[in-house]
Amino acid sequence: MKIVFMGTPDFAVPTLGALLKAGHEVVSVVTQPDRKRGRGKSIRPSPVKSYALKHGLNIIQPECFEAGSISQLTELEFEVIVVVAYGKILPEEILNIPKYGCINVHASVLPKYRGAAPIHRAIINGETESGVTIMQLDKGMDTGPMLNQEKVSISDTMTAGELHDHLAQIGAELLVKTLECLPDLVPKVQVSSLATYAAMLTKEDECLDWEQKANNVVNRIRGMNPWPGAYTILDNKRIKIHQAQVFPFTIRNSCPGTIVETNNRGFVVAAGDEKGVLVTMLQPEGKQKMSAADFLRGYVLSPGTKFKSGGEKHA
């Protein structure tokens, strides 16, 4: 099948690779323009562009879809557009170009978690199940009819990064299977009353609120790992918390955010429900990620020390 592929981040790369491996002809790759990336903020290509360059594929990088960039597509001969985390809503004019429309790989079991951050939000909200939906794009935000779905379980230790990589592979395989029988598939309309929205992450999402239940704090840490990271404040400096678990014992008469115990694995912070959070992996501001046990060897944290919570100002 002749395909135009649209995608930008790492999540999209496995699908592009799977299309090539399956023998499909990718006539062009559309990805976002090179941006400033990484610590040095140097101009770098997207992961999809880097992959496309290695495989000698034609690349189009419109800043936005205007008459010129749309005409570039209309001049190509193809049957379907495959879209995976491209990063922009496509105008209706593009949706109507290919014979089989625009097919999207979305990282949730639609209609749940429509929107920009389905992987992060699913883990932050403590979901035990996620998955991938192959759908036809329409004018709405992830509202189009569904062609295929596959569900996966989320363990209570899985991070957003781990779920991301798992769903990227599953999505790639499911998309190829879907294309094999695309002409015969009958799209299934989403039940809008069951829809939920996965809003884009904000700076406020990164800050831990120790007033929350311990399980909610741990879920947020998992859901922000490895990017952008969940943090707390100690001595007016940020400490990113990368790994933690609910402490199995009841904690009474301790203010949320207060360290109640240190041990050979890390330290326990009181949450808002008489339970604690055992922190085992962290990253002090300006330093590398390390185990909480190593951190304690160079920084004295005594019981009673208090972290600033989500509602408190970072001075």
Contact between 179 and 81 under an 8 Å Cβ cutoff? The reply is: no
What's the rounded Cα separation, in Å, for the pair 272 and 67?
A: 55
What's the rounded Cα separation, in Å, for the pair 167 and 161?
A: 10
- What pLDDT score does 37 carry? 77
Residue whose pair of structure tokens reads 């749940």 in the numeric block: 112
Tens of pLDDT, residue by residue over 47-86, are: 999 999 999 999 999 999 887 789 899 999 999 999 999 9
Tens of pLDDT, residue by residue over 137-195, are: 999 999 999 999 999 999 999 999 999 999 999 999 999 999 999 999 999 999 999 99
In what helix (H) or strand (E) does residue 166 lie, and over which residues does it extend?
helix 160-180
- Phi, psi (5° rounding) for residue 287? -125, 175
Question: Any residues with CB less than 8 A from the CB of 133 and at least 6 apart, and which?
Answer: 105, 106, 108, 109, 110, 146, 148, 149
Of 217, 201, 222, 246, nearest to 159 by C-alpha is: 222
What's the rounded Cα separation, in Å, for the pair 88 and 8?
A: 10
**In order of start, what are the domains of the chain with their CATH numbers?**
2-198 (3.40.50.170), 203-298 (3.10.25.10)
Tens of pLDDT, residue by residue over 223-267, are: 999 999 999 999 999 999 999 999 999 999 999 999 999 999 999
What's the rounded Cα separation, in Å, for the pair 20 and 4?
A: 12
N-to-C CA span, the chain: 57
Residue whose pair of structure tokens reads 């594929």 in the numeric block: 57
Torsion of CA 199, 200, 204, 207, to 10 degrees: 100
In what helix (H) or strand (E) does residue 59 lie, and over which residues does it extend?
strand 59-60
Q: With 70 as the cut, is the pLDDT of residue 312 above it? A: no
Sign of CA dihedral 270, 271, 276, 278: negative
Tens of pLDDT, residue by residue over 195-231, are: 999 999 999 999 999 999 999 999 999 999 999 999 9
DSSP-assigned letter for residue 214: H
Q: Mean pLDDT of all residues in the chain?
A: 95
**Cis preceding linkage at 33, omega within 30:** no
CA distances from 90 to 44, 97, 100, 281 (A): 23, 11, 15, 40
Q: What pTM does this model have?
A: 0.95
Q: With 50 as the cut, is the pLDDT of residue 315 above it? A: no
What's the rounded Cα separation, in Å, for the pair 172 and 18?
A: 6
Where residue 313 falls among pLDDT bands split at 50, 70, 90?
very low
